[in-house]
Chains A and B, each alone.
Chain A
Amino acid sequence: MKTQADIAVVKGRSLWSEARRRFYKNIAAMLGLIVLILVSLFAFFGQYIAQFPIDEIDFNVIGQVEQEGGPSIKNGHYFGTDDLGRDLFARVVQGTQVSLIVGFVGAFIAVAMGTLYGAIAGYAGGRTDNIMMRVVDILMAIPSMFVIILLLVMFGRSMAMLFIGVGMLSWLDMSRIVRGQTLSIKNKEYIHAAQAMGVSDVKIITRHILPNLWGIVAVYATLLIPLMILTESFISFIGLGVQEPLTSWGALISEGAGTMQYGTLWQLTFPLFFFVITISAFYFVGDGLRDALDPKER
């Protein structure tokens, strides 16, 4: 037998779905999201549009890059060529891939480590918390750029080293933020309730604390990605980043800036354009997320 109440189970609106609704209403954030999707599509599928592989030198333009190497549909170099006569379109696609990967993987490492570390420190409290956070303080005192450069010089320039260097050193901020948030959640009554009913610590962290942290973690993660991209670009700009023939935005911008005085301005503007719109788009999305996730803190 079914009663009326059984038939119509009301679907609840979770905090997530309400946040999503608020996010959709935020025009700047939605524009940012669209830009990010377009840039990602460009990174994924650009190589199929490109007429040349990234490392092929076009002998038709070599030696006269200023005159022949400009952006043109006719000869297939949509973004022109670089100083050596390589197709800039293909190289920007490649640079976008590398920069986005560094951004996402670096942020992922930072978020995973920072969240776990911070949540444990915050939940354990007392002496454990004290020691764990002092370790973070000490690590923070080391200039991170210096360490990354040292790592790259000592262990060679590789993508893996870049990930480790960038990711490992940026989880510190994350762990501080998460710890602070955990401390405030820990004193909420629903945590006391779970403790009083005998829920295990692991379950309390995974079921009650982490889901309430995701909001703030998501916001900082989106703000962390552009930071990672910036860091990587800076390292590439000073010539320590990814190795040829691989490239990244930073490396491309560096090359473009180097040849600026010869009048080949497109070599700087195309990578710079992608760099700027992506970084701004990430900040807009991060901002929108923050507004959507805690509407009170505006």
Chain B
Amino acid sequence: MTKPLLEVKNLCVDYDIRNEHALPWKSPQTLQAVKEVSFTLGAGETLGIVGESGSGKSTLARAIVQLEKATGSILWGGDTELIGLSRQQMLPFRSQIQFVFQDPFASLNPRLTVGQIIEEPLTVHQPQLSRTQRRERVRSMMHRVSLLPNQINRYPHEFSGGQCQRIGIARALIVEPRLLICDEPVSALDVSIQAQIINLLNSLQKEMGLAMLFIAHDLSVVKHISDRVMVMYLGKVMEMADCSVLYKQPSHPYTQALISAVPLPDPQQERSKKRILLLGDMPSPLSPPSGCVFRTRCQYATTECATRTPQLQSTGNSSEHSVSCHFPAVSLS
């Protein structure tokens, strides 16, 4: 069996929230942004991570590149533990794991030209390259993401959102990483542009053999690009399954609600389909509900859900399909 590229086990991220007006000796409140998340990712594979804002999906992504202090284990390439590495030790892995951000404008420094932005990872990770070599690489990379290489001296504010996102992608891929983490890369874009960016990511992934973590807040975007999908709620994994399985047999009530919100292309089907509306808001992560974190909005919730915390378990219909709910069968309607 080949070793997975990335193996995350029991990853937790805690924040200390200190009230501004609290007395200094009062201990701060703890916010658990990510709770015991585990998954593996093989080379060239794509894992979609879905959840509402505040579900901890971005924090999870940031924790993988050590931008957040995390506990648990992040095994890279089957043998390197990333948690606890010093900055210096972490540096070589940073070139193998790259990031694409949500806001195409805010993720590019407005004072730098496109060329300077794209070549920045090269200056950090391959300092031996000369200026002309770097420029050459930048040009070919721009070409690959369908930007005109003669725009190399332009500034980000002269581009559209979709083009800026291409610049962001070029910057991420120029050091030829093995894993690309996309943090809601298309949420800020128009629908027509979304498709272009997703197609671009898809084809680049095939060309370069990239593994991807693709984060989104709804299931429709993830569907086209993911091999497997992980659904998160309040920092916990609710359900994880192969993409096709998840869409056909969603077992967790939350997943079902998310899927029912995905518009169908056929208007007939769209009208006749049963929609599950989620009532209320996500509870504050500072005081999550007891037992199952989803119970405040779950239509199947019972008293048991309030007392006992469901564990992520295999559903049995496929080894890859696991769900954290006491009554996954009930919800299989």
Contacts and interface: CB of A to CB of B under 8 A. Distances in A.
Contact of A6 (B102, B103, B124, B150): B150
Nearest to A198: B94
B145 to A, nearest CB: 14
Given A12-B154, A15-B110, A198 B120 contact: no
A194 B125 CA distance: 12
Given A15-B155, A197-B98, A6 B109 contact: no
Q: How would you classify the secondary structure of chain A's contact residues: helix, strand, loop or mixed?
A: helix
Nearest to B109: A190
B157 A10 contact: no
B181 to A, nearest CB: 8
Contact of A10 (B112, B150, B175): B150
A67 to B, nearest CB: 62
Nearest to B104: A189
A192 interface: yes
A8 interface: yes
B109 to A, nearest CB: 5
Contact of A190 (B90, B108, B125): B108
Interface string B136-153: 000000000000111111
A187 B58 CA distance: 14
Contacts of A211: 109, 111-112
A189 B149 CA distance: 24
A14 interface: yes
Interface in A166-199: 188-190, 192-199
Interface string B60-78: 0010010100000000000
A296 interface: no
Nearest to A17: B155
Max chain A CB contacts within 10 Å: which of B108, B114, B120?
A: B120
B107 interface: yes
A124 to B, nearest CB: 15
Given A13-B155, A198-B95, A199-B124, A193 B107 contact: yes
A12 B153 contact: yes
Interface residues of B, number: 40
Contact of A9 (B95, B99, B150): B150
Given A9-B152, A9-B153, A189-B103, A197 B94 contact: yes
Contacts of B94: 196-198
A196 B102 CA distance: 14
B155 A14 contact: yes
A192 to B, nearest CB: 7
Given A5-B149, A198-B94, A199-B120, A190 B155 contact: no
Given A12-B154, A197-B120, A192 B111 contact: no
A189 B102 contact: yes
Interface in B157-211: 157-158, 168, 171, 175
Nearest to B159: A12
B153 A189 contact: no
B331 interface: no
B155 A198 contact: no
A192 B108 contact: no
A15 B148 CA distance: 21
Contacts of A8: 150
Given A5-B148, A198-B95, A189 B107 contact: yes
A193 B101 contact: yes
Nearest to A210: B111
Given A12-B153, A12-B158, A13-B158, A198 B110 contact: no
A43 B158 CA distance: 42
B285 interface: no
B289 interface: no
Contacts of A5: 148-150
B153 A10 contact: yes
Max chain B CB contacts within 10 Å: which of A194, A198, A208?
A: A198
A10 B158 CA distance: 11
Nearest to B157: A15
Contacts of B124: 197-199
Contacts of A198: 87, 90-91, 94-95, 124-125
A115 B280 CA distance: 46
A221 to B, nearest CB: 18
A74 interface: no
A6 B67 CA distance: 38
A192 B121 contact: no
A208 B65 CA distance: 20
A243 interface: no
A196 B125 contact: no
A197 B113 CA distance: 18
Interface in A1-55: 5-15
Nearest to B142: A5
B106 interface: yes
Contacts of B154: 10-13
A177 to B, nearest CB: 19
A75 interface: no
Interface in A210-263: 211-212
A208 B158 contact: no
A194 B120 contact: yes
Interface string B80-103: 000000010011001101110111
A126 B1 CA distance: 46
Given A14-B111, A198-B90, 6 more contacts: A6-B150, A12-B153, A12-B158, A188-B106, A196-B67, A199-B124
9 contacts: A10-B154, A12-B114, A14-B111, A192-B67, A192-B107, A197-B121, A197-B124, A198-B91, A198-B95
